Every structure is written in structure tokens, then in C-alpha cells.
Amino acid sequence: MKEGLLIAAGYVLGSLPWGFWLPLAVKRVDIRTVGSGNVGATNVWRTFGARLGLSVALLDIGKGLAAGLLGRFVGDELIGVLAGTAALAGHYRPLFLGFARGGKIVATTGGVALAVAPLVSVCGSAVWILVFLATRYASIASIAAGASLPLFALAFGASWPVLGFTIGAAVAIAALHHANVGRLLRGEERRASFSLARLLRGRPGTSP
């Protein structure tokens, strides 16, 4: 009973669509009608700039972290992983958007990993940052960071629930970016281009 409630709570936390709510509150715009139409942090960043995009990313990390910590400390590590996995499902198909398609789970995965395997999460985040700075493609950075998680989990001797979570998350992240991969192969993927000054001003900074 308790375990089921914790997993359900993880799903509800994951369903908080910050990428939809924040642009709607601040810009009075439905993010689903602009850019790629995705409610994730990347589309918010591309459309409205770094400040709003980073805010969404941090909130998405936070809800994954909250779900994982709630499950882990009220239940145990396995429940933490299951509640975190439910949060990913909620992020992808949010209750509060009528189960319509949500985001691509990258930031929320980082939050869950931070709860159940902090070192794995930190290293995966470092991979994302390095690959993004090198390529300026958020999609490549996301796929690379996701793929690195099981490797770091093995390197740090993570438990089987954590290893299973990282493998599943890596596969899911790659699958959810299949359209981006197609655009990359066709040379149509949008590449980020920003300066520190633009980043601090919070202005959009992308080029085709």
C-alpha cells in the first residue's frame, strides 16, 4: 500500500509541467504552439531565452529529485527508483496536460539519478555540459549523457535497481530523440549559438 502510494506520488510530481506553466505565466504563451512544440526546457530556452529555459530545467530536475528522495527515504532504494521512474512517465505523459505528450525526460532523469546515485548524476551532467559546449546540439548532449549513465553506474558499483534505471533511462532518452537524430542526419537540427552576455540577459540564442 505504502509503496504504491509513493510510486503514484512520483508520477504526480513528474506530471508537473513546468515547461508549460512557466512560459504561460511569464510570457502568456502556450509553449506547445511555438518552436518545436515540446514542453521541455530546450524548447523554452530556444524560444524565450536562457533564464526561462534554465528555470524550467531546474524545476524539472527538482521534481525528479523529489520523487526519488521521497521513495528512497520513506521506502527504500528500490522504491526510490520506482518512484523516480514513475516521475519520468509523468513528465512524458503529464496528468496535468491530460496525458498529452510532455517532455523528453532528460532533466528529470538527472534529478532522479541525483536522488538514487548522486555521483552518477553529477558525472552524467558533466558529460551533457561538455558535449553541448563542443557541439552546440542539445540533442547530442542529451543522448550522450543518457548513454553515459549506465557506464558511470557500473564504474561506481551501483546496485542493480540503479543500474536498471540508468539503462532504461538511456534507452528512453535515445528513443525520444529519434526525430532529432533524423534532423541531424539531414543537417536540419537547430544548433545553439550564444554568448555569455546573451546568456546573462536571458535572450534566445539559436541558429538553424
Whether residue 207 is contained in a domain is answered as: no
Domain that holds residue 114: 2-202
* Mean pLDDT comparison of 2-6, 114-118, 186-190, highest-scoring range: 114-118
Whether residue 8 is contained in a domain is answered as: yes
How many domains would you assign to the chain? 1
Q: Are 198 and 45 in contact (CB under 8 A)?
A: no
Judged against a pLDDT cut of 70, whether residue 48 lies above it is answered with: yes
Whether residue 57 is contained in a domain is answered as: yes
Nearest to residue 103, comparing CAs of 149, 148, 64? 64
Whether residue 60 is contained in a domain is answered as: yes
Query: Angle between the 160-176 and 138-155 helix axes, to the nearest 10 degrees?
Result: 160
The Cα 79–Cα 100 span in angstroms is: 26
Alpha helices in the chain (DSSP H): 2-14, 18-27, 41-48, 50-70, 77-92, 106-116, 118-135, 138-155, 160-176, 178-186, 196-201
The pTM (predicted TM-score) of the whole model is 0.89
Whether residue 61 is contained in a domain is answered as: yes
